[in-house]
């Protein structure tokens, strides 16, 4: 196979010189089968030694080299140049949702801090002394936490999370995957407390399940899947006293009743009917919607075959039991 | 000038485990040039050894014997007894801290076969065992948040030792290039190995022997530097590690003709011979024209008979690495592999409590400790058995912590001439900007790596190593002409690379010179011009001392033998 010419369009930022990030093009003659990391190293060696990026293991396990390729976060050490070139151009930039410090290097501190919010370590039963040997755990119990333990904390999910883009208080997908790793660990004694806490605001219900995190995740951790497993467990174990759970229940109630979402009922159901400050807080949103004529009809209606929907719901309930 | 009771350099298993022992009792700080979860311990795949006997009969004695034999009798047997004796406790401790281990049908920690071990002794977490252990300790560091200070992305430039007393380190904040002295009552180096000097290597970019060289420049000798392990299953051309667990699970090694060639070299153990023997066997197949591929320069790891289900459950990382890096689906096709520089048996000489030796007579540096791959205690001797390195990092990291807890309260902060130390570190940096720029960092680094892989690799002899010696000498002279091009202060990786290359050039000479001096073949050090082990003359550790002029002097010290007299090593 012949070598090929590729233009690397790299976002540069030197805090000592630049006011704002800028793009710089580098032309490279590349052999086939080269990874983006090796190509970036080639730029450092041959074209511009000031290009700053983080990397270490080169084998997709240390998690250092997540950055944006053509607008999406990836580990560059395991990504082939040939898979990402579009019309001879490959764009590289720093991760999103984190402040750029230099070129492709971002401030990771908010990411590390976010993990702290989910008590990211095993909490065994303090009343029970650890056995002399290992705690027993079945192969199935191991497999339940196996995906979430593969997380390498690269930050790719954090970078591309759509919720974090608008709400920095969200704990983020990596932290939720980390929480999953303990919530589903048969050796952990604080499952209930973890579920209660993670069901609160900024936690598991703040995810809008856009799926970016799982799409960008370079391992089997797949945060969205872990988030959904946490939600199901939280609901099953009766953690209903929070907006997220009430939203789910309200959703089921209105669809079960009318075959349609009742969008007037749902917000009030989610914040809680007796939560006066909460109810007051959503009034301005409602007014703004009315002003722009985006509000749902004030009198809810039902679909024609609502009996069919009710039957389906009844069948699901039976199956669930 | 900041000060701490204890400064730990390195945040892998040894460093974090030591920190865990100290935090809450002493003021302890960890310095790492990456972030703790990026440390190279996390790249270990196949397992961690302990004679739990969960799968078959096993004993501490068998583990000791296998390790002594695997080390080709260069390991210190008193240290090996500690390593193996403490292994089961270590595994249970990590399990109690939350490490996720693969399990048996009886719900115990599962164990698989590994090269050179006579029982199924490797406890594992799929093929991400180092990752699982490292993240368990990283998680524990969150439990100590606020109490444990971590200097992430700080480079360690110098170790301060004066009059045999360790006083601290000079470090540089990579984010700002600011130099600082960290004064300490004790310093622990847990800074990893030196495999980056080789072209084909499984080592992370960070493994440039910074700790080893800082100790050496501060007057500490380095031990057994010529012993570098080559792992048999590096991904062709990339050098990326594919776990020995792949063979532990039943994978074959085949040549171009599809023959399982290990039947010629280690008929009883086959693919599960120790790493030095398997790597040499592969190289022999390649050298004698039985390699695969258009250039006949690799052999093949064949997993096809294991089937999809087993590969995906037990070896998922191997599957993904082969797929992502060279586009080979290992369920359908054998994977091209070659020996890759993997583990540094040599390093900073230390006793069983990780206290560093100042000479070959048994004197110590007060307040200086070393643990993990940067140390040479020596539990691995001339060849490390797979799964013994994660174990070593945990066992000796803890021992270092315990010893420091014991002695540090009795130590004072020894005076440091801050101005002088900062000036010395500054001078080393200024020199890297002072060259005329006619030489280039990346060119010299590439030539060094080529030289080390081709001339000080799996097979060595005088006709390869003598020219390598000359070459390294030239490279060091040429290095004086490089000029760091990045003048910036923030994340100046160009400067960092130059500092690292300076370290690599310094220790590579010790690998080659130690290898040339050692006229025998033992473990990973194999000389075609001296193909047998010579216990009469060479059952001793090499100790390299730095001389005033930047050269070195080799001395030797005896190996500690407790219960196993050397015998012929057959598998």
Q: What is the pLDDT of residues B501-516, one digit of tens each?
A: 999 999 999 999 999 9
What is the C-alpha separation between A114 and A108, in angstroms, rounded? 10
Q: Does residue B154 have a pLDDT over 90?
A: yes
Do B554 and B513 touch, CB atoms closer than 8 A?
yes
The verdict on a CB contact (< 8 Å) between A108 and B316 is: no
pLDDT score of A313: 84
**Residue B434 burial (10 A CB sphere; 0-12, 13-18, 19+):** middle
Do A242 and A205 touch, CB atoms closer than 8 A?
yes
Give contacts of B140 with chain A, Cβ < 8 Å: 121
Q: How far is A292 from chain B (nearest CA, A)?
A: 48
- In tens, the pLDDT along A129-159 reads 888 999 999 999 999 999 999 999 999 999 9
Q: How far is A123 from chain B (nearest CA, A)?
A: 8
Which of A101, A137, A141 is closest, CB to CB, to B490? A101
Q: Which two tokens mark B56?
A: 């078959």
Residue whose entry in the numeric block shows the structure tokens 């002394």: A129
Q: How far is B506 from chain A (nearest CA, A)?
A: 21
CA distances from B14 to A313, B137, B194, B375 (A): 56, 10, 16, 10
Q: Which two tokens mark A202?
A: 């900024």
Band of the pLDDT at A319, cuts 50, 70, 90? Answer: confident
Across A76-203, where does the E strand assignment appear? 89-93, 100-102, 105-106
SS3 content of chain B, % helix, strand, coil (to 5): 40, 20, 40
Nearest CA-CA partner of B158 in B424, B338, B551, B507: B424
Q: Which residues contact B422 (CB under 8 A, 6 or more apart)?
A: B170, B179, B180, B181
The verdict on a CB contact (< 8 Å) between B204 and A220 is: no
The verdict on a CB contact (< 8 Å) between B143 and A121 is: yes
Nearest CA-CA partner of A56 in B495, B40, B132: B40
pLDDT score of A295: 84
Q: Which residues contact B412 (CB under 8 A, 6 or more apart)?
A: B185
What is the C-alpha separation between A253 and A268, in angstroms, rounded? 13
Q: How far is B561 from chain A (nearest CA, A)?
A: 31
Give contacts of A103 with chain B, Cβ < 8 Å: 491
The verdict on a CB contact (< 8 Å) between B98 and A122 is: yes
Do A201 and A143 touch, CB atoms closer than 8 A?
no
What is the C-alpha separation between A231 and A241, in angstroms, rounded? 13
pLDDT score of A2: 65
- The total of other beta-carbon atoms located within 10 Å of residue A140's CB is 10
B316 alpha carbon, distance to own chain's centre: 24
Nearest CA-CA partner of B240 in B228, B252, B231: B231
- The total of other beta-carbon atoms located within 10 Å of residue A318's CB is 8
Query: Which of A41, A59, A117, A148 is the best mutation test for B, with the most CBs of B within 10 A?
Result: A59
Band of the pLDDT at A305, cuts 50, 70, 90? Answer: confident
The verdict on a CB contact (< 8 Å) between B491 and A101 is: yes
Do A122 and B97 touch, CB atoms closer than 8 A?
yes
Q: Which domains does chain A have, with CATH numbers?
A: 4-106 (3.10.20.30), 109-236 (1.10.1060.10), 243-320 (no CATH)
- When pLDDT is averaged across residues B504-530 and rounded to a whole number, the result is 98
pLDDT score of B369: 98
Give contacts of B98 with chain A, Cβ < 8 Å: 121-122, 124, 182, 185, 187-188
What is the C-alpha separation between B266 and B279, in angstroms, rounded? 12
The verdict on a CB contact (< 8 Å) between B96 and A61 is: no
What is the C-alpha separation between A5 and A39, in angstroms, rounded? 12
The verdict on a CB contact (< 8 Å) between A145 and B100 is: yes
Q: Which two tokens mark B249?
A: 């699970």
Across B402-529, where does the E strand assignment appear? none
Q: Which residues contact A174 (CB under 8 A, 6 or more apart)?
A: A111, A114, A115, A151, A153, A155, A157, A158, A221, A223
Predicted TM-score (pTM) of the model is 0.96
Q: How far is A116 from chain B (nearest CA, A)?
A: 7
Do A27 and B2 touch, CB atoms closer than 8 A?
no
Closest-CA residue of chain B to A104: B491
The verdict on a CB contact (< 8 Å) between B102 and A139 is: yes
Q: Does residue B376 have a pLDDT over 80?
A: yes
The verdict on a CB contact (< 8 Å) between A120 and B139 is: yes
B123 DSSP 8-state letter: E
Q: Does residue B298 have a pLDDT over 70?
A: yes
Which of B38, B106, B492 is closest, CB to CB, to A62? B38
pLDDT score of A256: 85
A153 CB within 8 Å of a chain B CB:
yes
Give contacts of B320 with chain A, Cβ < 8 Å: 60
- In tens, the pLDDT along A177-222 reads 999 999 999 999 999 999 999 999 999 999 999 999 999 999 999 9
Q: Which residues pair with B335 in a beta bridge?
A: B301
Catalogue the long-range contacts made by B475-479 (C-beta closer than 8 Å, 24 or more residues apart): B475/B444, B475/B447, B475/B448, B475/B451, B475/B505, B476/B505, B476/B506, B476/B509, B478/B439, B478/B444, B479/B439, B479/B444, B479/B505
Q: Which residues contact B406 (CB under 8 A, 6 or more apart)?
A: none
Q: DSSP string of B148-198?
A: BEEEETEEEEEEEEETTEEEEEEEEETTTTEEEEEEEEEEEE-----GGGS
Q: Does residue A300 have a pLDDT over 80?
A: no
Estimate the crossing angle of helix B316-326 against helix B307-314, to 10 degrees.
100
Q: How far is B164 from chain A (nearest CA, A)?
A: 34
What is the C-alpha separation between B326 and B335, in angstroms, rounded? 9
Q: Which DSSP helix (H) or strand (E) runs through B138?
A: helix B129-143
pLDDT score of A314: 85
What is the average pLDDT value for chain A, to the nearest integer? 94
- When pLDDT is averaged across residues B364-374 and rounded to a whole number, the result is 98
- In tens, the pLDDT along A19-47 reads 999 999 999 999 888 999 999 999 999 99
Closest-CA residue of chain B to A146: B100
pLDDT score of B49: 98
Q: Does residue B324 have a pLDDT over 80?
A: yes
Give contacts of B103 with chain A, Cβ < 8 Å: 137-139, 141-142
Give contacts of B233 with chain A, Cβ < 8 Å: none
B508 alpha carbon, distance to own chain's centre: 14
The CA-based angle A7-A13-A14, given to 5 degrees, is: 125
What is the C-alpha separation between B35 and A108, in angstroms, rounded? 10
What is the C-alpha separation between B76 and B234, in angstroms, rounded? 29
Q: Which residues contact A284 (CB under 8 A, 6 or more apart)?
A: none
- In tens, the pLDDT along B447-486 reads 999 999 999 999 999 999 999 999 999 999 999 999 999 9
Q: How far is B190 from chain A (nearest CA, A)?
A: 17
- In tens, the pLDDT along B90-114 reads 999 999 999 999 999 999 999 999 9
The verdict on a CB contact (< 8 Å) between A101 and B145 is: no
Q: Does residue A281 have a pLDDT over 80?
A: yes
Handedness of CA B522, B523, B525, B526 (dihedral sign): positive
Closest-CA residue of chain B to A83: B324
The verdict on a CB contact (< 8 Å) between A62 and B102 is: no
B55 alpha carbon, distance to own chain's centre: 29
Q: Does residue B557 have a pLDDT over 80?
A: yes
- Cβ-Cβ contacts under 8 Å between A and B: the total is 163
Q: What percent of chain B has pLDDT over 90?
A: 99
A59 CB within 8 Å of a chain B CB:
yes
- In tens, the pLDDT along A233-266 reads 999 999 998 999 999 999 888 888 888 888 888 8
Question: What is the number of alpha carbons within 13 Å of residue A103 lying toward its C-beta?
Answer: 21
- When pLDDT is averaged across residues B484-496 and rounded to a whole number, the result is 97
Cis peptide before B378 (omega within 30 of 0): yes
The verdict on a CB contact (< 8 Å) between A130 and B34 is: no
A105 CB within 8 Å of a chain B CB:
yes
Q: Which DSSP helix (H) or strand (E) runs through B6?
A: strand B2-9
Nearest CA-CA partner of A303 in A264, A249, A261: A261
Catalytic positions of B, written as ranges: 275
């Amino acid at each position: 196979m012949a070598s090929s010419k590729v233009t690397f369009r790299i976002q540069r930022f030197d805090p000592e010189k630049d006011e704002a990030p800028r793009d710089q093009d580098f032309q490279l003659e590349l052999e086939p089968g080269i990874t983006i990391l090796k190509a970036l190293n080639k730029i450092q060696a041959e074209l511009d030694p000031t290009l700053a990026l983080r990397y270490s293991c080169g084998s997709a396990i240390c998690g250092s080299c997540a950055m944006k390729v053509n607008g999406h976060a990836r580990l560059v050490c395991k990504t082939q140049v040939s898979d990402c070139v579009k019309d001879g151009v490959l764009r590289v930039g720093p991760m999103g949702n984190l402040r750029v410090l230099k070129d492709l290097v971002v401030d990771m501190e908010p990411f590390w801090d976010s993990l702290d919010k989910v008590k990211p370590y095993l909490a065994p039963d303090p009343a029970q002394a650890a056995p002399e040997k290992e705690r027993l755990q079945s192969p199935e119990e191991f497999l339940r936490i196996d995906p979430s333990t593969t997380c390498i904390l690269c930050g790719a999910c954090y970078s591309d999370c759509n919720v974090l883009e608008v709400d920095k208080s969200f704990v983020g997908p990596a932290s939720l995957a980390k929480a999953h790793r303990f919530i589903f660990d048969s050796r952990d004694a604080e499952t209930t407390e973890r579920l209660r806490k993670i069901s609160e605001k900024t936690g598991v219900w703040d995810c809008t399940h856009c799926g970016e995190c799982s799409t960008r995740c370079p391992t089997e951790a797949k945060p969205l899947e872990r988030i959904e497993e946490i939600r199901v467990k939280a609901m099953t174990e009766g953690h209903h006293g929070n907006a997220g759970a009430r939203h789910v229940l309200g959703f089921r109630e209105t669809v079960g009743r009318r075959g349609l979402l009742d969008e007037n009922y749902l917000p009030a159901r989610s914040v809680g009917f007796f939560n006066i400050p909460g109810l007051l807080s959503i009034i301005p949103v409602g007014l703004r919607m009315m002003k722009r004529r985006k509000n749902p009809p004030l009198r809810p209606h039902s679909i024609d075959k609502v009996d069919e929907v009710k039957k389906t719901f009844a069948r699901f309930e039976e199956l669930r039991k | 000038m900041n000060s701490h009771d204890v400064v730990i350099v390195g945040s892998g298993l040894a460093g974090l485990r030591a920190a865990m022992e100290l935090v809450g009792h002493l003021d302890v700080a960890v310095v790492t040039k990456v972030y703790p979860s990026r440390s190279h311990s996390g790249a270990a795949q196949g397992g961690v050894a302990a004679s739990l006997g969960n799968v078959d009969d096993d004993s501490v004695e068998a583990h000791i014997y296998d390790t002594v034999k695997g080390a080709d009798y260069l390991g210190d047997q008193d240290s090996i007894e500690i390593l193996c004796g403490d292994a089961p406790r270590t595994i249970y401790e990590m399990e109690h801290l939350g490490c996720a281990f693969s399990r048996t049908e009886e719900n115990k920690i599962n164990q698989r076969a590994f090269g050179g071990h006579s029982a199924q002794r490797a406890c594992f977490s799929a093929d991400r065992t180092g990752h699982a252990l490292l993240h368990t300790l990283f998680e524990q560091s969150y439990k100590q948040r606020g109490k444990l200070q971590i200097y992430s992305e700080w480079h360690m430039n110098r170790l301060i030792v004066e009059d045999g007393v360790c006083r601290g380190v000079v470090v540089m904040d990579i984010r700002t290039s600011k130099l600082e002295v960290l004064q300490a009552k004790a310093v622990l180096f847990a800074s990893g190995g030196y495999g980056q000097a080789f072209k084909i290597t499984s080592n992370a970019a960070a493994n440039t022997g910074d700790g080893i060289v800082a100790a050496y420049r501060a007057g500490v000798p380095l031990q057994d530097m010529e012993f570098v392990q080559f792992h048999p299953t590096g991904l062709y051309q990339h050098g990326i590690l594919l776990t020995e667990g792949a063979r532990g699970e039943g994978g074959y090694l085949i040549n171009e003709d599809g023959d399982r060639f290990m039947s010629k070299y280690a008929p009883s153990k086959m693919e599960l011979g120790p790493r030095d023997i398997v790597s040499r066997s592969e190289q022999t197949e390649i050298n004698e024209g039985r390699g695969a591929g258009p250039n006949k320069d690799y052999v093949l790891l064949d997993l096809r008979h294991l089937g999809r289900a087993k590969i995906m459950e037990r070896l998922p990382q191997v599957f993904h690495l082969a797929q992502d890096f060279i586009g080979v689906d290992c369920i359908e096709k054998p994977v091209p592999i070659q020996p890759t520089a993997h583990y540094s048996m040599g390093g900073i000489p230390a006793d069983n409590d990780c206290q560093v030796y100042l000479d070959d007579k048994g004197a110590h540096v007060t307040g200086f400790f070393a643990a993990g791959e940067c140390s040479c205690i020596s539990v691995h001797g001339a060849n490390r058995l797979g799964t013994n390195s994660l174990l070593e990092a945990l066992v000796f990291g803890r021992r270092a912590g315990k010893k420091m807890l014991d002695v540090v309260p009795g130590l004072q902060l020894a005076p440091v001439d801050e101005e002088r130390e900062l000036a010395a570190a500054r001078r080393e940096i200024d020199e890297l900007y002072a060259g005329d720029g006619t030489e280039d960092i990346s060119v010299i680094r590439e030539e060094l790596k080529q030289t080390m892989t081709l001339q000080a690799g799996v097979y060595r002899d005088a006709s390869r190593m003598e020219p390598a010696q000359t070459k390294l000498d030239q490279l060091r002279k040429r290095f004086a002409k490089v000029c760091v091009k990045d003048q910036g202060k923030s994340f100046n990786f160009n400067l960092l690379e130059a500092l690292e290359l300076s370290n690599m050039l310094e220790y590579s000479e010790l690998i080659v010179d130690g290898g040339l001096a050692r006229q025998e073949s033992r473990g990973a050090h194999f000389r075609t011009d001296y193909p047998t082990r010579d216990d009469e003359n060479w059952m001793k550790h090499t100790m390299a001392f730095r001389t005033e002029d930047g050269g070195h002097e080799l001395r030797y010290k005896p190996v500690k033998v407790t219960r196993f007299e050397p015998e012929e090593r057959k598998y």
